[in-house]
Amino acid sequence: MRSAFPCPPIILLLCAALALAAVPALAQGTAPEGGEVQPVYSLSCDAAAGFVLSADGYDPAVADSVAIVSLAANFLHRVEAPGWGLVLNHSLDLSAQAAATAQFNPTMAVYEAYVRFDLLTGGRAQLFVGKRRMGMGLGTAFAPGDLLDPRTGFWDQKNGFRGLDLQASLGSDLSLRAALSLDRNLDATAARLRALANPANSALQAAYNTALGGATGPADPRLLTSAASLDVQLGAFQIAVSGLWRPEALGRASLGLGLDLGGVILQAEGAAEFLDGDASAESPSLFGTVGARYTWTVDAGSLTLCLDYDYNGATGAILKKTHYLLPQVILSWTDVLDLSFRALVEMEGPSALVSGLLAVHPARNLDLEFSILTSLGESGNDATALSASYLPAGAALTTAAGLSARVHF
């Protein structure tokens, strides 16, 4: 049975009501007692230069190897003021492929660009408008309920979503969240503008139709994606409930439990997905994860061990098989070095995507980084396919090693 209403009405009503409430709340402001607080701007950035060598296998001398001279910078701008805030988080990549026909495609990526409005007395709610990273659920390695702004890889890296995000807190222990993603509407709008600018180009018209995905136009509510979550902290326990809804396409509900057991952080989360938004379907796809993390600390050093298992009930954009393990080892010595090792093990192949990063800090704001990423197992397996999203474009490249210097300022 298809939904008659394109989006859960409660979410839209909640967003509208709190957006309207913003004006008087902003007029009051949330300036602490004791004087006016002026807007404060801050900037945090880093720049890295180095090279990455990618190859098919472990021999960089093979014909398929690719060398890239990397030069990139990350910027985080922030304005904090009573009652509102502004964030711009972006990167500039000037990397170029070092080949006879050098390829140079400078790119600028914007991960976050949003305005925050503090609502209600004491800023107990915030409305975010713009592009923003968002995490839902508890899972730190795998997250069955985290679909509105899905992870771009097998660790928690996100590109952000565009739309509205409303957060509310009741005391320290209860958080509510509702979000509305306009990503698909905006993508369809951009595709439409390109198609209109070049009406003779059939490929652009086809791209527009693909972006619509059966909707009647960019403003069709069926392109909206909404999500809501509830997070409760009960001492050492944490409970997270979340749901995601895409009209006439997808519904996913998840429940996560977390526990701090004497320093061992335990997490479990499960989700059920109903296609076409039909909760009465006989066989929803199931997803689940369990994981544990523990950190030993000695003086300025710490060693963290993590192990997570993931059950993936349906093929997704990144994970295409059913059973995965993700062991992680992270060694850190403050202001001396950071060493991390991760392996995404696909248990059916088996195959694995292994990554390692060593960052040495020879000076106060200088890092020397050595990274390696390789996929193990038969060619064409899941890990190899996944590694393609981390490796430069090329023919069946399965290993990348990089060396770079990074400056923070």
Residues forming contacts to other proteins in the complex (CB under 8 A) are 30, 32-34, 42, 44, 46, 74, 76, 78, 85, 87, 89, 111, 116, 118, 122-126, 128, 133-135, 140, 149, 156-158, 167-169, 171-173, 175, 177, 231, 233, 235-236, 258, 260, 262-263, 265, 295, 297, 299-302, 333-335, 361, 364-365, 367, 408-409
Work out how close the CB of 215 gets to other proteins at its nearest, in angstroms, rounded to a whole number. Answer: 28
Neighbours of 114 (CB within 10 A): 21
Q: Up-side HSE of residue 327: CA atoms within 13 Å toward CB?
A: 5
H/E stretch holding 384:
helix 382-387
Instruction: Extract the tokens encoding 164.
Output: 């509205």
Q: Which is nearer to other proteins, 282 or 299 (CB)?
A: 299
- Cβ-based nearer residue to other proteins, 148 or 207: 148
Which residue reads 């899941």 in tokens? 382
Q: Using an 8 Å Cβ cutoff, are 323 and 351 in contact?
A: no
Under 8 Å between Cβ of 60 and 34: no
Of 87 and 376, which has the nearer Cβ to other proteins? 87
Tell me the closest approach of the beta carbon of residue 129 to other proteins, in angstroms: 13
Which is nearer to other proteins, 29 or 221 (by Cβ)?
29
HEC-encoded secondary structure of 142-159: CCCCCCCCCECCCCCCEC
Least distance to other proteins, CB of residue 172, Å: 5
Whose Cβ is closer to other proteins: residue 122's or residue 213's? 122
Rounded to a whole number of angstroms, the minimum distance from the CB of residue 125 to other proteins is: 8
3-state secondary structure of 271: strand
Determine contact, residues 385/320, Cβ cutoff 8 Å. yes
Sign of the dihedral through C-alpha 355, 360, 361, 365: negative
- Nearer of residues 188 and 344 to other proteins, judged by Cβ: 344
Smallest gap, in angstroms, from Cβ of residue 218 to other proteins? 27
Tell me which residue of 56, 6, 36 sits closest to 397, measured CA to CA: 56
CB of 50 to other proteins, least distance (A): 17
